[in-house]
Amino acid sequence: MGDSHQNWIETKPNQMKIKQAIKELQGLEKQGVKNIILAFWEAKDFDRDEDKSWAEDVEILDDSFDWSSTHDDLNNFMESLK
């Protein structure tokens, strides 16, 4: 995995507005990236409404949740495919 990707993981927020996600994906496309792993969840996936309460809870989750183990899990799985 390249250093630029690791820097992206360390500096980019997990929570994004759709417009920002599109901008990031377009930037990756311009850099020649063709394939990515992308996962997202919407309020409806948790039987929630897309409202102020959801936005506040997502912000709390984003500030508190450690996503690094998710990345490690994906990396270990990809390594096992070699």
Q: What is the pLDDT of residues 57-69, one digit of tens each?
A: 998 988 888 888 8
Q: What is the pLDDT of residues 1-59, one digit of tens each?
A: 455 555 545 555 567 788 988 999 999 999 999 999 988 889 999 999 999 999 999 98
Q: Would you say residue 70 has pLDDT above 60?
A: yes
pLDDT at site 71: 87
CA torsion 47-18-52-50 (nearest 10°) is: -30
Task: Find how far residue 71's CA is from the centre of its chain.
Answer: 10
pLDDT at site 1: 47
The structure's pTM equals: 0.64
